[in-house]
Amino acid sequence: MSREKRKQAELLLPAGSLEVLKTAFDYGADAVYIGGEAFGLRANAKNFSPEEMAEGLCLAHERGKRVYVTANILAHNDDLNEAERYFQELAELRPDAIIVSDPALFMLAKRLCPGIELHVSTQANNTNYGTFLFWRELGASRVVTARELSLAEIREIRERIPAEMEIETFVHGAMCISYSGRCLLSSFMAGRDANHGECTHPCRWQYSVTEEKRPGESMPVFENERGTFLFNSKDLCMIDHIPELIESGIDSFKIEGRMKTALYAAVTARAYRRAIDDYLESPEKYAANLESYREEIGKCTYREYTTGFFFGKPNEEAQIYDSNTYVRNYTYLGKIAAVDAEGFARFEQKNKFSVGDRVERMCFDGSNELLTVLEIRNHEGLSVESAPHPKEALAVRFSAVPVVGELLRTETAK
């Protein structure tokens, strides 16, 4: 594959709000995928109103970026009339692409949204080149691979589909215990349909076992004193394998997490942006900086990491049996909204911090700088020793002046 083709690889980030959308672009994303108020698979995410979607599209296009809208539920009869109205609305908004999985919704979008790219979601179980060609014949410009594919399978798909057809693949984020997200556990156990975006994540719950001849007799399975988590997968992370991803011919590297924070978007976008750009500049530069990418991605909220199916089927090492909680090494403090004439940084505070604390500034160039909190002024303009209340508008003087748009974080106490 030519070097020119490899340079077209896109870094695609999730965005559950305008704040996260802006953050993803600030830290290096080429595109974001968002949900509207209907038909996406993250019903509990904040999602975008039509007005917010229009604003997000405007912000993106001013910067030469792209926005894709998810409409990837598996539809029932009652969904179709509303879907028709929704796609008419999207036709007016003109996102760069619509992501669908249901054939009926695909055909509705094709008819009602001419000129807008159609991407086929991983939810459609796209596991072979014949499926890619099927969607190509119907008018799809891009297909998202099923998470169950290996790199060898993806390379074969690339070889057997037209060069202009795009492959999008998840490279980072939460993994699902079910086949490409088609899970029935949530519907069965909580009455909330995962395929309509209402998953309660029962794969993260504790379970016991029942022996066939002892009905009703529940026996706990102990991994430790907290029980065991039989279906709880580690998170995917491919930061160590950027060369293999690029050489496989994947067009878009996708990060999972539309319900995650702006800090998650900043950390993942910046780490993968640096890794991709460094490799394209020089494989030796990528190798030399690999430990710094690992260190940075470890500052993200995550469950332990795995490479998923990329190098063969996962074994028991891909599961976490003793906990369902995230690793949180850093706490999000806020995003710089403005810097006044006195050098005070203004932002809405997300978590508690105090005068004298050491805070990390996430610079856009990929570096970090430790700042000391010298003074905090609350929303009334009064100097205070600490800021314990989330969402308070603060003015803070640091030992160095941060840049508008940068994020601040602090190391979580061990």
CA distance 97 to 116: 6
Q: What share of the chain is helix, strand, coil (3-state, %, to 5)?
A: 35, 25, 45
Question: Are the CB atoms for 186 and 201 separated by under 8 Å?
Answer: yes
Q: Please list, in sequence order, all residues whose beta carbon lies within 8 angstroms of the beta carbon of residue 349, skipping any fewer than 6 positions away.
A: 333, 334, 387, 389, 390, 391, 392, 393, 394
Judge whether 408 and 358 are in contact, CB under 8 Å: no
* Per-block mean pLDDT, blocks of 10 residues, the chain (414 long): 58 95 97 86 68 97 97 91 94 97 96 98 94 98 95 97 97 76 64 64 66 72 54 83 96 91 94 96 96 90 77 63 59 95 96 95 94 96 93 96 96 73
Rounded Cα–Cα distance for residues 405 and 336 (Å): 5
Check residue 197 and give its pLDDT: 59
pTM score: 0.85
The reply to whether CATH 3.20.20.70 applies to domain 3-177+233-318 is yes
Residue 225 structure tokens: 């004193």
Residue ranges matching CATH 3.20.20.70 in the chain: 3-177+233-318
Q: Under CATH, what is the fold of the domain 330-411?
A: Elongation Factor Tu (Ef-tu); domain 3 (2.40.30)
Give the separation between CA 288 and CA 292, rounded to whole angstroms.
Answer: 9
Domain limits, CATH 2.40.30.10, in the chain: 330-411
